[in-house]
Structure 1
Amino acid sequence: MTAPAFRITEIALYERPVRLRLPFRFGVVTLTEAPQAFLRLRIDIQDGRSAWGMAAELMVPKWFDKNPALSNEQNFDQLRLSLRLARDAYLSDATPRSAFGHSATHHAALVRAGAKRGLNALVAVYGPALLDRAVIDALCRMQGMGFVPALQRNLFGITATLTPDLAGFALDGFLRDLQPVRHIAARHTVGMLDPLTEADLGPARRLNDGLPESLEAVIAAYGQAWFKLKVGGDIAADLARLTAIAVVLDRISGGYQSSLDGNEQYDDAAGIAALWQAMQNEPALRRLCASIRYIEQPIKRASALERPVHGLSAQVPLIVDESDADYDVFPRARELGYRGISSKTCKGVYRAVLNAARCIQWGGGYFVTGEDLTCQAGLALQQDLVLVAALGLSHVERNGHHYVDGFGDAPEAEQAAFLAAHPDLYRRQDGRVRLAIRDGAIALDSLLDVAAYGSGAEPDWGDLAPMPLHS
């Protein structure tokens, strides 16, 4: 199918505050609130048709840029700037292009423009990644087609323009052969402040909001058997924390699987290797160690791609996450011994798809993982789920539903609209619309079957605040 060429003619940016029900500590930050960005745009095709598309993403502080000198507000302003730079670039170009063509045309220039404004590449690609998702949504709606069949037909016009190492690869064949999953296991994040047992919750800490608060309550409520365990860079403290986690997980009768997230807490491979060796030497962690499928970005991004990690990665695969700031990262990481890379819609749909293609080109042993950045119920959650479903992943980290109660402060009518459009994905409980996880898995049928990029409902645009034009 020929990829349609079109212009992008309108882009509007909005945001809404999000308050967490539980504090979420990852790396150097404890998150309690953050704004969520919303975007709506229009595309016009040459035959006179037009369509609107939309996307949303939380603006998480101290992940895109972990400079401790920056406040959370300064981090939010960085991401707003990235969105405005992308909006201005996409609107300034009236040339009709394919969906991927728009993205590829502006990618390098936006990274350079961001650098001139003090934005690292991970921040700089946040804006275009969000715009690209809205473009994809608009095109799917215009063509009356879901994301997966559009991807299989390469309706977006994806090429190896930004990935010359894939120049000889049969990309269209790879896309055509994608086999989406209809259910996906939810990998529960165990944050560094999260209570592990009900006994850890004194009366003063208990929320009593109808949602599980401790790890053991999560397992009882959702039946989950996949977990993502955060560590903090202090071997003694990490061992104590992991041992306490293992006490809870080892009670799961059917066994469990997990990943370990280093969140850039180590200066080099020796640091994370020391933790891994200490874990192997601890009898109480025998089952937990056996459950770990990979370690995610343990080394600070400033040095993560400087030295080989073959030795440790041969024992337990290492993947890159925060280091994944551009299209050339995965091949560079592979040369150093990394075995995988994360998929996150905040880093770009096309990058995730092309990295998955690389795994096929390289043969066995390389993989893409599905990771969360507190994706919120609604557009952000659904578009990320559709992407990992399209890539055929069997599990994905999900944490937004645990740290935020349902749709947060979204109007009741908005919550009801999403529930009506996606009754397999959400449920109503205690007057709130919340994500439905049954037997540890999330049902995806309604997301895959809708003629859009994953959503048959939309936010209440009148309830959203226009994003500030200047910071």
Structure 2
Amino acid sequence: MTFTIASFQFHVLPMRTRFPFKYGIASMSALPHLFVTANLVVDGKAVSGLASEGLPPKWFTKNPDTPFEIDLAEMISVIQNASRIARLAAEKPTSFFEWWQNLYAEQSSWAKIKEQPALLANLGVSLIERAVLDGLCKALGQPLHAVLRSDVLGIDLGAVREELRGMRVADVIAPAPLSRIHARHTVGLGDALSAADGTLDDGLPYTLEETIRAYGLRYFKIKVCGKPEQDLPRLREITRVITANCPSGFHATLDGNEQFYDLASFRDFYATLRADAALAPLFQNLLLIEQPLHRSQALNEDVAATLSTWTEGPGMIIDESDASLADLPLALDLGYRGTSHKNCKGIVKGLANAALLKKRTPVIRGGPILSGEDLANVGPVALLQDLSVMALLGVTHVERNGHHYFRGLSMHSQATQEAVLSTHTGLYHRHPQGFPTLKIQNGTLDVSTVNSAPFGCGITLDVTQFEPLNDWIKRGGMGEL
């Protein structure tokens, strides 16, 4: 199978949160949701692929001194540059993997010249990659899992990383995609925990207590700010709420949000938390620790000495530091146990990461960890494509928070809402107020319709209902957020 790329189109849907989402150094109350359409010709047949991503503040870059408008302009720049490279790499018929190699290499070279960080640069690669994959799956009339197992894309893992020579994508992904996935609920730094923290009368659960009861949650991701005087009382209350409302047990992960600049300091912080008797239920059920070190320090050589003697905690993984193809191998060498998957970090890269963890399983102390994390994904495109990949990678519990910070799919047209409800009957349901929202039952999501769609979405979305990106920029849309 070969294809050419005729053009790309970009459209924007501005979105506002129900309440601020506080993480790391950011507090998100609004963002632009970007839709990318790839117009392809696949084996002589015209087809369009679609991908989307919310563009959040202070994740791809964490410079506290730059305003969101500057960060957003950089995100848009790397995406547009990736589209330019992608189109040039497919002016003549090309295979998917050959095209992807050119896209990744040229975007990486451009980013080095422009001094753009790899995590940000690969946002562009991942969005374009997803749009093209969606088009190819539609052209083949097959879901992504089947396409990857057939090897029609020609992905050569050994060409991505030499130590993966001889491994096939079909040997890395699950034999069949998971039909249900646990939703791991984000407890943000400013989220209400109980009615004592206030109420929000918009028809959706607001406090942690309400959310557990409404969705039957059993998995949680808890963010910390790195200051014991603030974290300890909040963690005590979080632990109390979770244990009181999860009589059958629970599991949790701890997100360090890059708040530390040396691992010894984090180890002291962790010991302080762990010594608190009220937090015993939390630490007895802790699955992993997600990137406590700032990305500028997380892969330094001195990390290895501390990790080699780390016995009092669960496995530690990288997240933001998993920026380029070179990062996970280095992290494993230093003693980390794995990484996170987010579609915004790339599909081929995610497959190569899963393959590397499988390859190195015998030498990873405690075993490898591939977690599923979130960037406030919402449907009907980004969330479903992300769930599609999580299901085929066999990730059993995935951080999900877009449904919590945004009001379901209420920001979309009535036609889009009805299409989602009729196509994804197990994943979405109609809220009493009329809009679709995620159907989380017993803490799990039914992703069977996602697995049967070409690449998760399964509906025809008319992107012309949204504002063209260039028009949005020219009229000052960035300043309205």
Pair 465,318 (structure 1): closer, same or farther in 2 beyond 3 Å? same
- Is residue 295 from structure 1 mapped to residue 294 from structure 2 by the alignment? no
- Is residue 257 from structure 1 mapped to residue 251 from structure 2 by the alignment? yes
- What's the CA shift string for 1:217-270, capped at 9, x where partnerless? 000000000000000111221112111101101111001001000110011111
Partner of 2:106: 109
Of 435, 439, 444, 1:441 maps to 444
Amino acid at match of 1:366: P
**Could you tell me how far apart the structure 1 residues matched to 2:107 and 2:312 are?**
37
Amino acid at match of 1:394: T
- What's the CA shift string for 1:179-199, capped at 9, x where partnerless? 311000000000010010122
Write the mapping of 1:48-447 to structure 2, written as runs, cut at 5 A.
Answer: 48-93=44-89, 94-160=91-157, 163-175=160-172, 178-201=175-198, 206-251=199-244, 252-306=246-300, 307-308=303-304, 309-312=307-310, 315-363=313-361, 365-429=367-431, 430-447=433-450
**Could you tell me how far apart the structure 1 residues matched to 2:214 and 2:14 are?**
28
Give, in angstroms, the shift of residue 7 of structure 1.
1.3
**Could you tell me how far apart the structure 2 residues matched to 1:226 and 1:195 are?**
17
Report SS of the residue matched to 2:343.
coil
Give, in angstroms, the shift of residue 161 of structure 1.
5.5
Q: Does the CA contact (< 8 Å) of 2:21 and 2:27 recur in 1?
A: yes
Give, in angstroms, the shift of residue 449 of structure 1.
1.2
Mean Cα deviation higher: 159-168 or 242-251: 159-168
Write the mapping of 1:8-87 to structure 2, written as runs, cut at 5 A.
Answer: 8-46=5-43, 48-87=44-83
**Could you tell me how far apart the structure 2 residues matched to 1:18 and 1:97 are?**
36
Pair 62,124 (structure 1): closer, same or farther in 2 beyond 3 Å? same
**Could you tell me how far apart the structure 2 residues matched to 1:313 and 1:148 are?**
37
* Structure 2: 5+ residue stretches without partners: 475-481
**Could you tell me how far apart the structure 1 residues matched to 2:163 and 2:457 are?**
31
Mean Cα deviation higher: 94-103 or 368-377: 94-103
**Could you tell me how far apart the structure 1 residues matched to 2:376 and 2:137 are?**
25
- What's the CA shift string for 1:65-106, capped at 9, x where partnerless? 001121111111111101110111111232322223212112
State the TM-score, normalized to the length of structure 2.
0.93
**Could you tell me how far apart the structure 2 residues matched to 1:192 and 1:448 are?**
33
Amino acid at match of 2:405: Y
Amino acid at match of 1:441: T
Give, in angstroms, the shift of residue 107 of structure 1.
0.9
Amino acid at match of 2:64: P
Report SS of the residue matched to 1:293.
strand
> Aligned pairs, how many?
462
**Could you tell me how far apart the structure 2 residues matched to 1:180 and 1:367 are?**
18
Q: Does the CA contact (< 8 Å) of 2:295 and 2:321 recur in 1?
A: yes
Q: Does the CA contact (< 8 Å) of 1:104 and 1:161 recur in 2?
A: no
Report SS of the residue matched to 1:233.
coil
Give, in angstroms, the shift of residue 156 of structure 1.
2.1
Pair 408,68 (structure 1): closer, same or farther in 2 beyond 3 Å? farther
Q: Does the CA contact (< 8 Å) of 1:18 and 1:408 recur in 2?
A: no
**How large is the RMSD of aligned CA atoms in angstroms?**
1.6
Partner of 2:477: none
Q: Does the CA contact (< 8 Å) of 1:379 and 1:458 recur in 2?
A: no
Pair 216,118 (structure 1): closer, same or farther in 2 beyond 3 Å? same
**Could you tell me how far apart the structure 2 residues matched to 1:316 and 1:176 are?**
25
State the TM-score, normalized to the length of structure 1.
0.95
Give, in angstroms, the shift of residue 168 of structure 1.
2.5
Give, in angstroms, the shift of residue 177 of structure 1.
5.5
Pair 241,299 (structure 1): closer, same or farther in 2 beyond 3 Å? same
Report SS of the residue matched to 2:38.
strand
Amino acid at match of 2:387: L
Amino acid at match of 2:103: H
**Could you tell me how far apart the structure 1 residues matched to 2:10 and 2:294 are?**
32
**Could you tell me how far apart the structure 1 residues matched to 2:460 and 2:119 are?**
27
**Could you tell me how far apart the structure 1 residues matched to 2:79 and 2:170 are?**
33
Q: Does the CA contact (< 8 Å) of 2:148 and 2:170 recur in 1?
A: no
Q: Does the CA contact (< 8 Å) of 1:56 and 1:380 recur in 2?
A: yes
**Could you tell me how far apart the structure 2 residues matched to 1:460 and 1:406 are?**
19
**Could you tell me how far apart the structure 1 residues matched to 2:254 and 2:345 are?**
21
**Could you tell me how far apart the structure 2 residues matched to 1:313 and 1:458 are?**
51
Give, in angstroms, the shift of residue 419 of structure 1.
1.3
Q: Does the CA contact (< 8 Å) of 1:34 and 1:60 recur in 2?
A: yes
**Could you tell me how far apart the structure 2 residues matched to 1:244 and 1:347 are?**
33
